[in-house]
Structure 1
């Protein structure tokens, strides 16, 4: 399967989202619930026409944008080295948007379930896909953990992405475990995600200082 086939698969999820809107439209109310709080309680609505079109249109636009990234990145040749992993992430993202859209439609059709748990589960899977992508990512301007230090040193990039990949996958697993803790489930996603962001940024700085020299670096200590 080449890049065209993988992107076509991502586009297929966009088409399916649009088809789901068409099929569900006759049985939906004039206003759709489209937002929930952390407790899973509906707290926002949208007109039927906008609600049916919003996610398919947004996901379609984002898939197109993601497909263009390798072409416009000045380091596009680096993206080419991990293009299969990148394409599969685009597919995972399109699938994620499709699941959210079908969830919204199902809820408004009267099916009873905790929408927040659906979102958290879908985000957990997406986070795992991010972790897998980071395993393969080479230096570029759009994809990966882009701090001043990872973009300045390829060794820092590699080490930070190795750590980041593990942390994103761990966050995904913790988030899935959190689904069994009801109203506290959101914290099993938010807290690890924030820690992952802080740890990877701090680690990239630490690695850079160790490699490039500076206060507290190994070269500064004469090692």
Structure 2
């Protein structure tokens, strides 16, 4: 399977989303539930026409952007080296968007389930694969943990992404564990996400400063 095939697979989720919209349209109310609070209770609505078209259109637009990025990045040759992982991320992302869209439609058709749990479970899968991509990503301007320090030094990029990949996977695991804790489940996602962001930024700065002072990174500075 090459890049064209993988993007075609991702695009099929847009087609499936559009088909779901067309099939469900006659049965949906004029106002569709589109927001939920931490307890899984509906907290906002949008018009049926917007709800039917938003996710398919947004996904299609983002797939177009994902297709362009490897062509316009000044370090496009580096993206080419992990292109398979990049392409599969696009497929995983498209499937996640399809999950959200289908979940919204199903909920408004009267199927009973905790929508927040559905989103968190999908997010766990997405974040786990992000961790996979990070461990294979070479330095570029669009994909990965892009701080001034990772973009300035190849070693800092590699070490930060090795750590970031582990933290993203850990976030995914904690998110799944959080599903056992009811209304606190969201905290098992958002807190690790924030902590991961802070750690990777600080770690990349620390590594860069160590190289700047010592000319190399000591073996005990990585995790």
For Structure 1 versus Structure 2, the TM-score category normalised by the shorter chain is over 0.9
Which residue does the alignment assign to 2:100? 100
SS of residue matched to 1:99:
helix
TM-score w.r.t. the length of structure 2 is 0.95
Give unmatched runs, 5+ long, in structure 2.
Answer: 219-223
Name the SS for the 2:57 alignment partner: helix
1:4 aligned residue: 4
Inter-partner Cα distance in structure 1 for 2:47 and 2:175: 32
Report how many aligned residue pairs link the two structures.
216
CA distance in 2, matches of 1:67, 1:130: 17
SS of the equivalent of 2:44 reads strand
2-structure distance, mates of 1:200, 1:98: 30
Q: Which residue of 2 aligns with 1:73?
A: 73
Q: Secondary structure of 1:213's partner?
A: helix
Corresponding position: 1:46 with 2:46: yes
User: What's 2:141 paired with?
Assistant: 141
2:201 is equivalent to residue 201 of structure 1: yes
Could you list the per-position Cα deviations for residues 138-164 of structure 1 after superposition, in whole angstroms to 9, with x for gaps in the alignment? Answer: 000000000010001000000000000
In structure 1, C-alpha distance between the alignment counterparts of 2:181 and 2:14, rounded to whole Å? 32
Counterparts of 2:129 and 2:60 in 1: how far apart (Å)?
Answer: 19
Residues in 2 aligned to 1:57 and 1:47: alpha-carbon distance in whole angstroms = 15
- For 1:14 and 1:128, the matched residues in 2 are separated by 22
TM-score, length of structure 1 as denominator length: 0.95
Q: Which runs of 4+ in 1 moved over 4 A?
A: none
Aligned-residue offset at 1:48: 0.7
- Listed as ranges, the gaps of 5+ residues in structure 1 are 219-223
Distance of 1:121 and 1:201 partners within structure 2: 26
C-alpha deviation, 1:120, in angstroms: 0.9
For residues 39 and 141 of structure 1, what CA distance do their matches in structure 2 show?
38
The aligned residue for residue 64 of structure 1 is 64
